[in-house]
Amino acid sequence: MNLFPPSARAAFFFVFLIFILSTPASFAGVYDGSASVYNTKLIDHKLTPQTVNELCRRAKAGETAAPGSGGVVLSALENHTVFWKCKIEKFTVLPDSFQLVVKTPEGFRFNAVAKKNVRNLDFDRTGFVVAIKGNLKFSGCKVNNINARSVILVEPSPALSLKKFTETNFPSGWMNMVNQSEKDPHYLSPLYPFLVHRIYMHNPNYSVSDIKKIAASILDYSEKCGLDPLLLTALLNIESAFDVDAVSSSGAIGLGQLMPFTARNLGVNPMDPAQNVGGAAIYLSRQLKKWKDTKDPAALALASYNAGPGAVERYNGIPPYSETQNYVFFIKFLRNEYLKQIRENRI
């Protein structure tokens, strides 16, 4: 016997459908669970290389004490997540991991170890400036290594710099773009060389036509949706590193990591790179409009993209999930890095 009458089943299905259609590309897996999980995965922005270096110095000098006594206990820091910007000086591929020697802008050198599933290390990144999120491991009174959980590409090696890239490829060279402005109006956009370079440095194996298609779609949909193209670019950068074939464990697809049901609701084919970018742009623009009267619409729109607008409403702000808190920070961090590079290269 069916315990629920047809009207009740229909009502339940309607509510469930509304919930599904309101969820964004990356909704799955953002709940941290316990407070301890949240605290260990949330980036501790106070734990800078300078701070750690000073704590190591104090520990070496004997300023240690039992936990809770106010002294220096380095092992307690291993439960903290750090986010450090550094340059890769040596890149070694081992059977089960990547071994990196990195140097921070302050001149501190560390070893970093990343598992093979860590994104952005599928090509030799020697000379690249990266941002590493991970946990410190200590040996005595010094940092033994950083266990990298994620690596974000910030700038390429000098040989692949934005300035050198644009001088070499625009208006001639690799891009083969001489007198192409009439055929490709995107060439007239000052951001086009930057976007092409950004996608290329992540995926140097992509064809010229594929890279141009992705860059053009970012500009097109940013204009159509009234978006900051650098914000959209940073979102795609964090979601998939511009990987058109990326598929998450929860089934999110492509550049903007669109879930199939989200893509259907947005009327896009997530397997098509341009439409995938379009879906991400449409969803992000809707969230920006939703939160336009708040203090930080961009932060809440990004949080909605990651955790769902329902979660943002429920907590009246960025939800207390370390993944979402870090996600919003990553995208804002990258957008600021983009602006610095564009200014420095006078694009």
Q: Which domains does the chain have, with CATH numbers?
A: 35-155 (2.40.50.140), 158-344 (1.10.530.10)
CA distance 128 to 89: 8
Give the pair of three-digit tokens for residue 180.
């192409």
Distance CA 195, CA 182 (A): 19
Which of 78, 155, 182, 239 is the catalytic position?
A: 239
Distance CA 215, CA 14 (A): 38
Helix, strand, coil percent content, the chain, rounded in steps of 5 = 45, 15, 35
239 given a catalytic annotation? yes
pLDDT at position 71, please? 60
pLDDT tens-place values along the chain, 347 residues long: 444 455 555 444 444 444 444 455 555 557 777 888 888 999 999 999 999 999 999 888 887 554 444 567 898 899 999 999 999 999 999 999 999 999 999 999 999 999 999 999 999 999 999 999 999 999 988 999 999 999 999 999 999 998 888 888 765 544 444 445 445 666 668 899 999 999 999 999 999 889 999 999 999 999 999 999 999 999 999 999 999 999 998 899 999 999 999 999 999 999 999 999 999 999 999 999 999 999 999 999 999 999 999 999 999 999 999 999 999 999 999 999 999 999 988 76
Contact 124, 91 (CB under 8 A): yes
Instruction: Report whether 82 contacts 136 (CB < 8 A).
Output: yes
Q: What pLDDT is recorded for position 231?
A: 98
SS3 153: strand
Residue 18 confidence (pLDDT) = 43
